[in-house]
Structure 1
């Protein structure tokens, strides 16, 4: 049995996590330019939602497969699919093609992100995990929040196609390092079978739920369908010998509360990184670079807080970081909703975004480590994936619902076609439109996005409320009733 080279494996995992997280948000400041080139503002939210939808559905499935058949083949499969679909996204010639290939990207990311974090839990000791996961949370934060700024710079100096081609060298480097330096002893279970019925019900339920939250008359019927499918999923999982998401996990208060809080703060995070750049460009008439700079304070605050929090955790425990971080992020979103409006100076909203990033840097890192320390090796993959599942589904539902709000506002005046809003996002910022149409569209977009900012704030208030119920553990240690399997060779 060859020995895993931990430094190079850690570097490979960091690169894998970086590129998957980057792709979630790098398109946010590039999308206005993409829309002005390809058209289809009605489908704006689906470029984000398709990626998060497919990754949401597959995260728990890949997590379970990693527990059954090993981490290495799953993460390499996901990386290959991710890179191939990245090339296809960059070559897209229509909005429909872009959405389809973004969905394939999400399938690959559904394997890359949770398995990377799971491997960290495998190859480091309990004492090392808090610091390493803190650093990895910083990598995730840097990538996810630097995405909009990176997208703005690429659009300014290259073309939007390079937003997707950027993934190729990073992804190839990660795969090469994993192939050479990561080795594991498989702990395959005899006669283990994937729960196909549960996987099918989960996929159908999540898809129906995301269609339903778009909020239009034609898609609202999907909500009761989602309710039926997800209820059936729970019943199937309770009886399955190898469930995709073991319901027994949520009997552990730490996992249940972290999952709920993670879904809520992810809705706020992805909502902010998706719609703040659109507000800056579509309402304030700013450039893609200005839009990316608007969330720069988040880019700085998140990783700093993650690294500091990883060092504090072993001293003060999880709860102060989770409750304090969520409270700080809530203050940031409240200031953002109050201050981000036409004519207002951008300094105050930037301060708000900085508070938001620092708060989530503490809370996101602490909740993930808390989940991993609540179970042993045999459940770590599915527990990590389940936690990330709730984060991604929270982000997907949040962005989708906010997209429905925005489109509903743009469609209020039937005399103005929604497609005319594309002109607001082009380099001329709507100068080709008549003053009356420009005023109507600008007002509708402003109103819709202002509602979205209050939705973001409400999601953070709910996340903070959930965090108040986190158990008062004395220190950041694994509960006595769990077994921690030694790291693989």
Structure 2
């Protein structure tokens, strides 16, 4: 025994930083989960049902812009002032939404929130890379997972109670003092470090981010319309998204080139596969098996619990290669997704979803933290911001596209009056494929240039 105290994310040197990081992550996640519960009351009071989708789209578009801005800030200066600015913008958006007397003002508030949230989420990754050693990062990202998933368990219920007893404005305004507390903890933990190098300026990326975000919103809106005009809207969305992502993601991301591009691609594949089905399960259980709205969401809780438990377990084994953990997570996710096809069987009543979606959550709990660790391990200090932004953009884009694709498949069958189960099986197959692709490219997420990956260096340089 040498008397040394084992390093931990909760030791004296990290406790305040960890608490601040997790507070901000949890509050941003809670706001994202809660707004869906409060929005029906908001649009009813403001007499703007036709505007219902706009607050969500506004947040999505500006969050992509915020991610790019946060990446540029993180690469060129200390993250502390950027986090302060991002949180203040996010809080301003909460206030604007909370006092809105017209739907246009509420949409503006959500857009401001998205901008601030995008900046903050990226800079939290930069702080994680600066303040925590590689050995602590698996456990930190396991805690991040709990910060995102736990609001999924309590967010809708808490927001429903606030909306019922205080009003929908309380959902927005009630978070402002809590956000301030999280920021105070983080900023008093110690000054952030300046990046090791200035990095290469990437001017004009915010405009490309706005274009990509608009493309995502256009595709989502096209999926909701399902008419002739939607075709033109979808084509415009694809073009805008493609042009934007070409400038925002690392070269070779689509081909999963070895190193950072494969890591960024893995994040999109995991998120798209999981959230595509996560959005589909309540609809199928309601339409196919007649479950109530309250009970149809319960299997999602099983997925959240599986995610949190697995994320904590992977954090206890920092010595295991992250590529191996990522591959295992993708395979477990693919298994859970494929097994969730049982919800399409009329005779089973949908009950297997509790087990199968819990298994899918385990896959996410293994895979998502591993992607974050791999990104920071391979990112030079001067590129942590831009790489973290690319990771988040990959997540948002793939999730939006696959949620929309799955929704179109199943909604089309439901509107046509035919049986739902064939469309569900097709959707499950479509969503299982990205998870399998993630397992296939997991080996490429290691930094190229050593051992069996030497050949990938030549490819990356071509």
Q: Same fold (TM over 0.5)?
A: yes
What are the superposed Cα offsets for residues 408-448 of structure 1, whole Å, 9 maximum, x if unpaired? 67877xxxxxxxxxxxxxxxxxxxxxxxxxxxxxx69x95x
Aligned to 1:264: 269
Q: Distance in 2 between matches of 1:149 and 1:107?
A: 26
| TM-score, with structure 2 as normaliser | 0.78
Pairwise CA distance, 1:67? 0.9
Q: Say whether 1:471 aligns with 2:408.
A: no
Q: Are 1:297 and 1:350, in contact at CA under 8 Å, matched by a contact in 2?
A: yes
Q: What do you get for the CA RMSD once the two structures are aligned?
A: 3.9
What are the superposed Cα offsets for residues 234-283 of structure 1, whole Å, 9 maximum, x if unpaired? 77x5xxxxxx6553888862422332232233234434454545666788
Structure 1 window deviating more from structure 2 (51-60 vs 269-278): it is: 269-278
Q: Are 2:135 and 2:318, in contact at CA under 8 Å, matched by a contact in 1?
A: no
Q: Are 2:257 and 2:444, in contact at CA under 8 Å, matched by a contact in 1?
A: no
Q: Say whether 1:218 aligns with 2:229.
A: yes
Q: Say whether 1:174 aligns with 2:202.
A: no
Q: Say whether 1:87 aligns with 2:95.
A: yes
Q: Say whether 1:455 aligns with 2:460.
A: no
What are the superposed Cα offsets for residues 85-139 of structure 1, whole Å, 9 maximum, x if unpaired? 1233344456655444323221111011121122111111122222222222332
Aligned to 1:303: 308
Q: Distance in 1 between matches of 2:256 and 2:437?
A: 19
Pairwise CA distance, 1:310? 1.7
Structure 1 window deviating more from structure 2 (383-392 vs 254-263): it is: 254-263
Pairwise CA distance, 1:328? 2.1
Pairwise CA distance, 1:224? 4.6
The higher-RCO structure (CA 8 Å, 6+ apart) is 1
What are the superposed Cα offsets for residues 132-161 of structure 1, whole Å, 9 maximum, x if unpaired? 222223322323554345445545665444
Q: Distance in 1 between matches of 2:156 and 2:426?
A: 21
What are the superposed Cα offsets for residues 165-218 of structure 1, whole Å, 9 maximum, x if unpaired? 34223211111123322302324866975512x331332134124313524432
Pairwise CA distance, 1:7? 1.6
| TM-score, with structure 1 as normaliser | 0.75
Q: Aligned pairs, how many?
A: 435
The DSSP-based 3-state class of the residue aligned with 1:469 is helix
- CA 1:265 to 1:41, structure 2 compared with 1: closer, same or farther past 3 Å? farther
The DSSP-based 3-state class of the residue aligned with 2:442 is coil
What are the superposed Cα offsets for residues 275-310 of structure 1, whole Å, 9 maximum, x if unpaired? 545666788776665455342212211111101012
- CA 1:11 to 1:234, structure 2 compared with 1: closer, same or farther past 3 Å? closer
Structure 1 window deviating more from structure 2 (216-225 vs 127-136): it is: 216-225
Q: Are 1:62 and 1:110, in contact at CA under 8 Å, matched by a contact in 2?
A: yes
- CA 1:210 to 1:401, structure 2 compared with 1: closer, same or farther past 3 Å? farther
Q: Distance in 1 between matches of 2:425 and 2:54?
A: 19
Q: Distance in 2 between matches of 1:58 and 1:395?
A: 18
Q: Say whether 1:312 aligns with 2:317.
A: yes
Pairwise CA distance, 1:464? 2.2
The DSSP-based 3-state class of the residue aligned with 1:247 is coil
Q: Distance in 2 between matches of 1:191 and 1:308?
A: 36
- CA 1:175 to 1:278, structure 2 compared with 1: closer, same or farther past 3 Å? farther
Q: Distance in 2 between matches of 1:471 and 1:465?
A: 11
Q: Say whether 1:349 aligns with 2:356.
A: no
Q: Are 1:313 and 1:366, in contact at CA under 8 Å, matched by a contact in 2?
A: no
Q: Distance in 2 between matches of 1:21 and 1:102?
A: 14
Mark the runs of 5 or more structure 2 residues left unpaired by the alignment. 1-11, 452-462
- CA 1:248 to 1:24, structure 2 compared with 1: closer, same or farther past 3 Å? same
Q: Distance in 2 between matches of 1:292 and 1:356?
A: 15
Q: Are 1:85 and 1:104, in contact at CA under 8 Å, matched by a contact in 2?
A: yes
Q: Are 1:201 and 1:233, in contact at CA under 8 Å, matched by a contact in 2?
A: yes
Q: Say whether 1:127 aligns with 2:99.
A: no
Pairwise CA distance, 1:11? 0.9
Q: Are 1:8 and 1:181, in contact at CA under 8 Å, matched by a contact in 2?
A: yes
Q: Distance in 2 between matches of 1:296 and 1:130?
A: 23
Q: Distance in 2 between matches of 1:43 and 1:344?
A: 38
Q: Are 2:16 and 2:185, in contact at CA under 8 Å, matched by a contact in 1?
A: yes
Aligned to 1:200: 207
Q: Distance in 2 between matches of 1:297 and 1:200?
A: 40
Q: Distance in 2 between matches of 1:342 and 1:84?
A: 48
Q: Distance in 1 between matches of 2:367 and 2:271?
A: 11
Structure 1 window deviating more from structure 2 (12-21 vs 174-183): it is: 174-183
